[in-house]
Structure 1
Amino acid sequence: MSDAISVKELTKKIINGDSVFILDVRNTGDFDDWKIEGENVEVINQPYFDLLEGIDPVMDKLPKDQPIYVVCAKGGSSEFVADQINEEGYENVYSIEGGMKAWSEHLEPVKIGEVAGGSIYQFVRIGKGCLSYFIESNGEAAMVDVNRMIEQYEDFLNEKDAKITHVFDTHLHADHISGGKKLAEQKNAAYYLPPKDAEEVQFEYEKVRDGDEYKIGETTIKALYSPGHTIGSTSYIVDDKYLLTGDILFIDSIGRPDLAGKAADWVADLRETLYQRYKELTDDLIVLPAHYMTIKEMNDDGSVSAKLGVLYKENHGLNISDEDEFRKTVSENLPPQPNSYQEIRETNMGKVSPEEEEQREMEIGPNRCAVR
């Protein structure tokens, strides 16, 4: 019989740079759209239905000298295939528990550094490229861009013995369902959202405006209005040391301005934010985005961050001097719209309340918030 490996264990291996071989047995279309990736990850695809009678179709592709990890959509088919591989004499064969569904939902906390009286952590949603943040000082805490899997945050909070007082969303998300409002309600904390993104929101929230400051223990969080990805997009400066950019600026790309159908209107806002508002900030600020596009943006410790000054030298999206060329770049180099993005926006507005399994299906697939 084959063994099983959790997505948490697999995530550790990928972040550590271990050599990982994966056999993905989903349909080829699903595989081509979204797969497990990593610096030292080799992944091949052979649909489950091709392997019902045996593993001959992949026999010559399987390594003899390293573990084999088999993944499917939810974990059932991969167990069957992993057992078949094991029966053919291969050792160290593992089925990935929960499949790509579990991979999509795992959050890996990575410590970024210190703040006054405490620390800041980044939660890496490695299966989707989402990044969220925990800022703690003297027992008080704030969270930014929370994903819907709030149980994982709650487990972390219990370990840290911290009380959540503030929950922020940098903007109204369109690629994933926010857990911010739900977490705030459960922890009796205030939930903050930029009002320009919230005109259709169906619930009460605290309005965030440019220049507002919030105290978390000894730490100061300052709001910086930074439109372009959405009309309300707001960044947060933490202790004049960290810049949480939401989906405006990434490590290797910039935010797309079209997820609400307003690309032509918002391109100028995006350029003003990137080429003026951010330019006025100190180069030493550590940029902490809400997403990353590829594993190449990840640092050796698994975090996703870089100094603002470095990005102004190396990020192509910050170095397009001609305005017409910039407009063309952000309007013609866009990946497909995120899966179910309009339904996700309406869920985040409180207009609809899908069941949990439907929410999972809505989020399936990679992050698509950036200009290529």
Structure 2
Amino acid sequence: MTVHAMPAKQVARKIIENQPLFILDVRNGDAFADWKIEGGNIQYLNVPYFDLLDGVEEVVKDLPTDRDILVVCAKEGSSIMVAEMLSEEGVDVAYLEGGMKAWSEHLEPVKLGDLPSGGEIYQFVRLGKGCLSYMILSNGEALVVDATRMTDVFLNFAKEKGLEIKHVFDSHLHADHISGGRQIAEQTGATYYLPPADAEEVVFGFEHLIDGLTVKVGSVEVEALYSPGHTIGSTSFVIDASYLLTGDILFIDSIGRPDLAGLAEDWVGDLRESLYARYQKLTDDLLVAPAHFMIMEELNEDGSVAKRLGDLFRDNHGLNIQDEQEFRELVTKNLPPQPNAYQDIRHMNMGKITPDLEVQREMEIGPNRCAVR
């Protein structure tokens, strides 16, 4: 049997298309329990690499014969060795190229839709991290929202589409992932915008992203809506009166957490005001497109993450807590663990530190933890 590499892009397509896949994850049990490749048609077996050094015979009997088998580890080295051992036992098997580090970095572009004024909106789905970035394009121009540090993905996509990136927005100062927004602006000459309320410690120049700011992308109008609560500067965007990019304030099945700067008690009132007052004034037909998703069930059949605002008002528990004290307790007492290295990530997004690429990768490893449970 031949051992072959399966790139993250191929794994992503299998998940989006709900194809069957069996994953033998050879990381330690705690790493597997904390963060793994997820999908609706995936089966798992976690056996640490060190338990397989004496042979894989016991594992072979637990492997299926009716679906692709993928061996996964942190960086690929251990999974290659296990895959080769399985191949010697006659098992047709692949390993994840680049390991979980590559999975964490993969972005899958998905078209959300056409815009009424002409143009399109694309969502860049980071399946391994739950991050969602956006590109609005019209008449040869583009605006990028909440870009990740994998800037080549956005630059190459714009080049393939024949676009000039004119504007770059960050909806807030991110604490769970490293922003690529400033780097994209520097490389393209685009204008970089950041909410000033989040930027008191930022050490580089930027344009102020304030409530009511409107920019044109070709024939498409993008309006900023101040919506604090996840951070004090959090800002949403209404795209061509048809999409609402909510950043980390509102998700499909949950709401944003207000504590990543240690100010949950201070910001919970802002969070409620944004969700229960500012958003309530908007039309129900806006399609909500957040900056993160929490679980794979939030993905639509095409791999996108978006849902009508009216449907969220009806179905999202975080939007249906009428008692203010109950809401306050939910938000401040049901918080998941802080994201890995979130303080260092915030400092990098402020421009205060510039770690090398491997350190950046380690800073981001792990699941997305931006929502209230």
The interval holding the TM-score normalised by the smaller chain is over 0.9
Aligned residue for 2:41?
40
Q: Write out the 4+ residue segments of structure 1 that deviate beyond 3 Å after TM superposition.
A: none
Measured against aligned partners, the alpha-carbon deviations of 1:277-301 in whole angstroms (never above 9, x if no partner) come to: 0000000000000000010100000
Report the 3-state secondary structure (helix = DSSP H, G, I; strand = E; otherwise coil) of the residue aligned with 2:143: strand
State TM-score, norm by structure 1. Answer: 0.99
The alpha carbon displacement at 1:229 in A equals 0.2
Gaps of 5+ in 1: none
- Give percent identity, aligned residues only: 63
The alpha carbon displacement at 1:117 in A equals 2.3
Which moved further from structure 2: 148-157 or 315-324?
Answer: 148-157
Is 1:27–2:28 an aligned residue pair?
yes
Aligned residue for 1:113?
113
Is 1:285–2:286 an aligned residue pair?
yes
* Equivalent residue letter for 1:309: G
The alpha carbon displacement at 1:332 in A equals 1.3
Which moved further from structure 2: 261-270 or 63-72?
Answer: 63-72
The alpha carbon displacement at 1:303 in A equals 0.2
Q: Is the 8 A contact 1:36 1:43 kept in 2?
A: no
Aligned residue for 1:15?
16
Aligned residue for 2:325?
324
Q: Is the 8 A contact 2:142 2:158 kept in 1?
A: no
- Distance (Å, rounded) in 2 between the aligned partners of 1:58 and 1:262: 48
Aligned residue for 1:103?
103
Aligned residue for 1:149?
150
Cα RMSD between the aligned structures? 0.7
The alpha carbon displacement at 1:57 in A equals 3.9
The alpha carbon displacement at 1:157 in A equals 1.2
Aligned residue for 2:162?
161
Report the 3-state secondary structure (helix = DSSP H, G, I; strand = E; otherwise coil) of the residue aligned with 1:61: coil
- Distance (Å, rounded) in 2 between the aligned partners of 1:45 and 1:183: 39
Is 1:72–2:73 an aligned residue pair?
yes
The alpha carbon displacement at 1:52 in A equals 1.1
Q: Is the 8 A contact 2:179 2:349 kept in 1?
A: yes
Q: Is the 8 A contact 1:256 1:371 kept in 2?
A: yes
Aligned residue for 1:201?
202
The alpha carbon displacement at 1:335 in A equals 0.8
Aligned residue for 2:57?
56
Q: Is the 8 A contact 2:113 2:121 kept in 1?
A: yes
Is 1:358–2:359 an aligned residue pair?
yes
Q: How does 1:307-318 map to 2 (within 5 A)?
A: 307-318=308-319
- Distance (Å, rounded) in 2 between the aligned partners of 1:140 and 1:155: 14
Aligned residue for 1:276?
277
- Distance (Å, rounded) in 2 between the aligned partners of 1:336 and 1:199: 26
Q: Is the 8 A contact 1:257 1:267 kept in 2?
A: yes
The alpha carbon displacement at 1:37 in A equals 0.3
Give the number of equivalent residue pairs: 371
State TM-score, norm by structure 2. Answer: 0.98
- Distance (Å, rounded) in 1 between the aligned partners of 2:43 and 2:159: 36
- Distance (Å, rounded) in 2 between the aligned partners of 1:3 and 1:41: 19
The alpha carbon displacement at 1:56 in A equals 3.0
Report the 3-state secondary structure (helix = DSSP H, G, I; strand = E; otherwise coil) of the residue aligned with 1:184: helix
The alpha carbon displacement at 1:347 in A equals 0.3
Q: How does 1:117-128 map to 2 (within 5 A)?
A: 117-128=118-129
The alpha carbon displacement at 1:261 in A equals 0.4
Measured against aligned partners, the alpha-carbon deviations of 1:205-262 in whole angstroms (never above 9, x if no partner) come to: 0001111100111000000000000000000000110000000000000000000000
- Distance (Å, rounded) in 1 between the aligned partners of 2:111 and 2:44: 29
The alpha carbon displacement at 1:2 in A equals 1.1
